[in-house]
Every structure is written in C-alpha cells, then in structure tokens.
C-alpha cells in the first residue's frame, strides 16, 4: 500500500498528464492547458490573483527553457513554490494558535 507521500506524488503526476494530454502532446502543457489546470485544480490560488494577465505571467515564469510549453519539471516548480507558501501559512497559523 502506498504511503501518503507516494500517493501525493502519484496524484501530481496524474494531474499533470491529464491536462498535458488534452492537445495530443502528453509531455507538456500549453498556455491553455495550464490555464485549465489552474482553473480546475488550483482555483482558489487563481481567484486570489487579481491580475487578469496572471496566467501569462505564471506561464512565462514556469517556462524556464522558453519553448512556450511547460514540461513536468517546470510544472513541479509551481507546485513546490505553492507548497512552500502554504507551509509558511501553516506555521503562522500554528504560532497564532499556540501550537508547535
């Protein structure tokens, strides 16, 4: 039976490939694929972005090799960055509630 972490990693891979395969290419996300993923899988994050060009800026920041696509390694940097931000919020919440 997989551990929680293994299940989380499998979910991340499955979600990436679900959206990356929509346009026939299973290895990368186009701008539209990324937008669909953000709207469906990270809707709270996307709604908190008041900038209408947020998807374009995220795409530009993730596309490290400049090919106009986001591959899995580039996608992982988004997940890691958001996870770190969430963990910081978790730590602040724990301090406010008096838990360690």
- Say if pTM beats, i.e. exceeds, 0.85: no
* Tokens matching residue 100: 């360690």
* pLDDT, position 100: 56
CATH architecture of 4-96: Orthogonal Bundle (1.10)
* pLDDT, position 14: 95
Quick check: 6 pLDDT over 60?
Answer: yes
Arithmetic mean of pLDDT, 2-29: 90
Looking at every residue in the chain, the average pLDDT score rounds to 87
- What are the tens digits of pLDDT across the range 46-68? 777 777 788 888 899 999 899 99
Per the rule left: phi > 0, alpha: psi between -120 and 50, beta: everything else, 99 is: beta
| 26: DSSP letter | S
């Amino acid at each position: 039976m997989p551990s929680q972490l293994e299940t989380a990693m499998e979910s991340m891979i499955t979600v990436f490939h679900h959206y990356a395969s929509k346009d026939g290419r299973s290895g990368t996300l186009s701008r539209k694929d990324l937008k669909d993923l953000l709207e469906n899988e990270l809707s709270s994050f996307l709604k908190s972005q008041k900038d209408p060009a947020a998807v374009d800026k995220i795409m530009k920041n993730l596309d490290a090799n400049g090919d106009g696509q986001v591959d899995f390694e580039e996608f992982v940097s988004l997940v890691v960055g958001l996870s770190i931000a969430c963990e910081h919020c978790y730590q602040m919440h724990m301090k406010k509630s008096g838990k360690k």
